[in-house]
Amino acid sequence: MRTLALCLILAMGGLAEADTLADHPVVLDASGKLLSWAPQEVAYDRVLHLGWRYLETKVPTQEGGLPAYFTHSIFDGATGLGADYLHAPAGLAAMMIESATRWYAYSGDEQAVALMRRLADYQLQHGTTPVSFDWASVPWSTSEPGQLDYGGSSYSGSDGLGVLEPDKAGELGYGYLELYELTGDTTYRDAAIAVADTLALHMRAGDAAHSPLPFRVVAETGEIRYEYTANLTGTLMLYDELARLGLASAAHRNARDRAWAWLVAYPMQNQLWSIVFEDVPTGTTPEADPTQYIPLKLAQYLLERPEIDPDWRVHVAPILPWVEANFAIDTADEHGEQYGANAISEQKIYMVKMGNHTARYASVSALWAERTGDEAAREKAFRSLNWASYMCNPEGLVRTGPGPQGAGYWFQTGYGDYFRNFSSALGADPAWAPPGEAHIVRSSSIVSHVDFSGTGVRYTTFVPDSVEVLRVPFQPAAVTAGGAALPPASDLSVAGYMVEALGDSDFVLRVRHVTSGEVALIAPIQTSRGCSFGDDTPDGRTLGSFLATLLVGYAWRRCARITKKATGSTDGSAEHPLPPEATHGFQR
């Protein structure tokens, strides 16, 4: 059947080379459609583990004794050493940090957090504009390859020395804010606010030819080198998160409103989703170079946080068809549909099929399916995410794409951007996470601590009012927030939790907590007398719920007293983590 299906695909204009994709043997299902090269039930988890392991253990050091991605965006796949091409530190750091915050919630990987702190600290110290500049206290978007201090790039097609891209400042400003919530280090909060201040100072109303933030500016003088970019999602995310944390000024709110109004009035109407990549030549017109990156990133944000936009359905609905019509199409070298999977090109002037962009398309398709019930979108997501998985080899080396022009290696596209799109897809469809394991696949807040080490899961979100989605290998006996039991719920308009059975003793949990970010999922434990933590007590609660409320509440109060005694805190502001024996989790 597989051979017959493959022959039919090739006869109808499928891949020119049968049975291999990015050097992996192609795996097809009975209908001749693409499965991942890795075992399907753990495929996306496998890609994430392999890729993060490569970043954490296999990247060589270069200039200044730093990992190669501090000073290079592209690298040699054979040696891991950075190559001679412009470096894009701000965009790279923003992508890496977003990927790391998602990955930490999913895995509890502290090493990934440490790497991102080091990268952000370096950017702040060696890649931030002086306070005396017109564009003050914002990150440099480009630098020369191998340069230890960032300041623009003279590489052909890049910004130019002394020139930066404000949209990348918005993206990394949000990254700094994520790190503040993840670590509690106010250095990152202050850096995010400084970026937001400068962007607000320069935000304009915009029109058809001028975006609210120009694409390229001379940092010291403010001279505009390129007027247009539709890449404003990172800036929106920065302002929205500052507002949620109570840190947004009136200027921030006004700047956010201007950016959003312009997106609705122009790109959402004329589809000029154009100009984002650091190596786009300055003379390129918006009409000449639309890209899928910009609308898909906006759609991903609105679908993950639909409360941001009451009209999310109207605004997002046209995006996937537009991307498919313009970027899931045949090129001179590659087919737009490969083994039943849509393969996505990067931009109109560089129509190479790439793994990170295809994974983003898959993520948005999965999110759309989650929100609307569109099964056709879910199928597209599944096939395209499988296609994207082929870009990662068993050593964690991620190539840009399978074709002759795409067989290169970029830290941005292959790692920073690639990872976060797989993580987003798992949040949209937890059934794609591995069975028999516990993972937080999505949170509306940054998860600042997670413990999967025992017989349950406990975690802390930075924002108390948050919703998490988890896949776990147990039906919890109780779920608590701040030591108080949360009730089972039919929806999450109020605090509570919902359980969906996946089969084979695995469950999807959706948890809403409002007053405390300290959450514990208590796994049922069989007792020596034969009763279970899931059995009912006379008052109607499960035994697990009853005992968990008593035990966790006692642990919280006990820990609070100890912490207050040690710190002198009397206002309840000190952190009170649960003792290890109170709740536990599972780890891969």
What mean pLDDT is predicted for residues 558-582?
35
Report pLDDT for 403. Answer: 86
Report pLDDT for 404. Answer: 83
- If residue 35 lies in a helix (H) or strand (E), which one and from where to where? strand 34-35
Domain ranges of the chain: 1-68+281-434, 86-278, 439-567
Angle between helix 233-244 and helix 293-304 axes, rounded to 10 deg: 20
Q: Which of 128, 270, 160 is nearest to 224 (CA)?
A: 160
Report pLDDT for 455. Answer: 82
pLDDT tens profile 499-518: 999 988 999 999 999 999 99
Higher pLDDT, 496 or 570: 496
Q: State how far the Cα of 4 lies from the Cα of 10, in Å rounded to an integer.
A: 10
Report pLDDT for 536. Answer: 41
Q: State how far the Cα of 102 lies from the Cα of 515, in Å rounded to an integer.
A: 23
How is residue 443 written in tokens?
């949170």
| Residue 531 CB neighbour total at 10 angstroms | 11
Whole-prediction pTM value? 0.88
Q: Does residue 579 register a pLDDT over 60?
A: no
Among all chains, which residue has been given the structure tokens 């990172």? 234
> Average pLDDT, whole number, for the chain?
89
pLDDT tens profile 71-111: 999 999 999 999 999 999 999 999 999 999 999 999 999 99
Higher pLDDT, 577 or 310: 310
Report pLDDT for 526. Answer: 54
- If residue 499 lies in a helix (H) or strand (E), which one and from where to where? strand 496-503
Pair 457, 470: CB distance under 8 Å: yes
Q: Report residue 584's pLDDT band, with 50, 70 and 90 as the boundaries.
A: very low
What mean pLDDT is predicted for residues 352-366?
98
pLDDT tens profile 259-307: 999 999 999 999 999 999 999 998 899 999 999 999 999 999 999 999 9
- Architecture field, domain 86-278: Alpha/alpha barrel (1.50)
Q: Does residue 588 register a pLDDT over 80?
A: no
Higher pLDDT, 454 or 116: 116
DSSP readout, 127-196? Answer: SB--TTSSSTT-B-S-B-TT-SS--EE-STTS-EETEE-HHHHHHHHHHHHHHHHHH--HHHHHHHHHHH
Task: Provide the β-strand partners of residue 499.
Answer: 509
Q: Does residue 194 register a pLDDT over 80?
A: yes
Q: Does residue 560 register a pLDDT over 70?
A: no
Q: Is 156 exposed, middle or buried (0-12, 13-18, 19+ CB in 10 A)?
A: exposed
Report pLDDT for 220. Answer: 98
What mean pLDDT is predicted for residues 527-535?
39
Q: Which of 328, 321, 433, 308 is nearest to 368 (CA)?
A: 321
Q: State how far the Cα of 172 lies from the Cα of 166, in Å rounded to an integer.
A: 10
DSSP readout, 276-311? Answer: --TTS-TT--GGG-BBSHHHHHHHHHHHHSGGG-TT
Q: State how far the Cα of 513 lies from the Cα of 445, in Å rounded to an integer.
A: 11
Pair 316, 299: CB distance under 8 Å: yes
Q: Which of 21, 181, 10 is nearest to 102 (CA)?
A: 181
Q: State how far the Cα of 412 lies from the Cα of 79, in Å rounded to an integer.
A: 17
How is residue 79 written in tokens?
């040696």
Q: State how far the Cα of 450 lies from the Cα of 138, in Å rounded to an integer.
A: 31
What mean pLDDT is predicted for residues 129-151?
98
- If residue 371 lies in a helix (H) or strand (E), which one and from where to where? helix 355-372
pLDDT tens profile 305-331: 999 999 999 999 999 999 999 999 999
Q: State how far the Cα of 377 lies from the Cα of 176, in Å rounded to an integer.
A: 33
What mean pLDDT is predicted for residues 356-378?
98
> How many residues can be counted in the chain?
588
Report pLDDT for 525. Answer: 78
Task: Provide the β-strand partners of residue 410.
Answer: 74
- Looking at 385-483, which runs of residues are DSSP E strands? 439-443, 447-451, 456-461, 466-472, 478-481
> Residue 483's Cα: distance from chain center in Å?
30
Query: Helix, strand or coil for residue 198?
Result: helix
pLDDT tens profile 153-185: 998 778 899 999 999 999 999 999 999 999 999
What mean pLDDT is predicted for residues 63-67?
97
Report pLDDT for 391. Answer: 98
Q: State how far the Cα of 33 lies from the Cα of 340, in Å rounded to an integer.
A: 5
pLDDT tens profile 472-491: 999 999 999 999 999 999 99
| 213-to-232, 312, 402, 564 alpha-carbon distances in Å | 8, 23, 35, 47
How is residue 81 written in tokens?
């050493």
How is residue 223 written in tokens?
């001279």
Q: Report residue 7's pLDDT band, with 50, 70 and 90 as the boundaries.
A: very low
CA angle (141 as vertex; 357, 363 as ends), nearest 5: 20
Q: State how far the Cα of 506 lies from the Cα of 474, in Å rounded to an integer.
A: 6
Q: State how far the Cα of 220 lies from the Cα of 241, in Å rounded to an integer.
A: 28
Q: Which of 515, 447, 504 is nearest to 471 (CA)?
A: 504
The DSSP symbol for 537 reads P
Which residues touch 464 (CB under 8 Å, ≥6 apart)?
A: 513, 514, 515, 516, 517
Pair 239, 261: CB distance under 8 Å: no
CA torsion angle 423 424 430 435 (round to 10): -10
Pair 292, 342: CB distance under 8 Å: no
What mean pLDDT is predicted for residues 15-25?
76
Percentage, residues of the chain above pLDDT 90: 83
Report pLDDT for 18. Answer: 52
Q: Report residue 559's pLDDT band, with 50, 70 and 90 as the boundaries.
A: very low
Report pLDDT for 54. Answer: 98
β-pair type (496-503, 506-513): antiparallel
Report pLDDT for 110. Answer: 98
CA angle (530 as vertex; 527, 535 as ends), nearest 5: 80
- If residue 385 lies in a helix (H) or strand (E), which one and from where to where? helix 375-389
Q: Report residue 587's pLDDT band, with 50, 70 and 90 as the boundaries.
A: very low
Task: Provide the β-strand partners of residue 536.
Answer: 542
- If residue 28 lies in a helix (H) or strand (E), which one and from where to where? strand 27-28
Q: Does residue 3 register a pLDDT over 50?
A: no
Q: Any idea which of 59-73, 345-359, 397-411, 434-448 has the lowest mean pLDDT?
A: 397-411
